[in-house]
Amino acid sequence: MALIFITGGVRSGKSHFAEQAALQHYEAQACTAKRLLYLASGIALDHEMEKRILRHQADRQAQPVQWLTVEAPYAISEVFETLQDGDVVLWDCVTTWLTNAFYEGYDKGTPCLQQPGCLAKKLQAVKQAIQSLLKKDLTFFVVSNELFDEPPYASDEVELYRRTLGQFHQWLVSMAQEAYEMNYGIVKRWK
C-alpha cells in the first residue's frame, strides 16, 4: 500500500489537490487500477455542510473518470476492510470522521466521548484496519484539516479533540510514504 497524507486549513485546496492526485494516479495505472473510490465522512447536519458536500460531489462528477462514492461517516474501518488490490482510494476527511466518532451515540443520550474507552476503541479499529491495508496493493490518499495554528481553547472537549487529532496525524504520517500540507492553494511536501 502507498499511503499519501494531505492536510491543510479550511478551504486551503487540500480536497481538490487530493482528488486531482488520486485521479492522476488512477489514470496512470489504467491497466492495473480497479476502482477509484471516494470515502466520504461528511454528514449534512446544516446548510453549510450540505453546500460543501454538494460542491465536492459536483467536482467529482465533472471529472472524466467515474468515482465510486462510499458514505462512511462512522464505520470507516469496516469500509477499509472491503478495499481491494488495485484500488485508488481517497478518504475525505479524518477530521470529519473524528468529530462523528466523538459524538456518535449523542442521539441516544451518551456520545462516545463520554463512554469510557469508546474513542480509544474506535481509533484502534481504524489504525488496525489501515495496518491491514499494508498487505494490499492499493493507493490510499488521506485528507485531514490542520487545526494546530490556533491558540489553545478554553474548552477541555475542544482541546481533547485537537490532542487526539494531532496524535492521529502523527501516526498517519509515520505510516505514510508521502505527506503534504496545503496553504492558500500552495502545496508543500513534507515527506
- Domain housing 14: 2-189
For the chain, percent helix, then strand, then coil, each to nearest 5?
45, 20, 35
Using an 8 Å Cβ cutoff, are 59 and 19 in contact? yes
50 — pLDDT class (breaks 50, 70, 90): low
Which tops the pLDDT comparison, 52 or 21? 21
Average pLDDT over residues 111-116: 93
Given pLDDT bands bounded at 50, 70 and 90, which one contains residue 10? confident
pLDDT at residue 63 in the model: 65
DSSP state of 40: E
Contact between 5 and 144 (Cβ < 8 Å): yes
Using the predicted structure, report yes or no on whether residue 27 has a pLDDT greater than 80: yes
Mean pLDDT highest for which of 7-11, 32-36, 80-84? 80-84
Run of H or E residues at 137: none
- The pTM assigned to this predicted structure is 0.87
Q: What are phi and psi of 46, to 5 degrees?
A: -145, 175
**pLDDT for res 176:** 97
pLDDT at 34: 85
C-alpha cell at 27: 489514470
Annotated catalytic sites, by residue?
56
CATH number, domain of 150, equals: 3.40.50.300
Confidence of residue 166 (pLDDT cuts 50, 70, 90): very high
Q: How does residue 118 score in pLDDT terms, banded at 50, 70 and 90?
A: very high
At residue 52, does pLDDT exceed 70? no
Domain count, the chain: 1
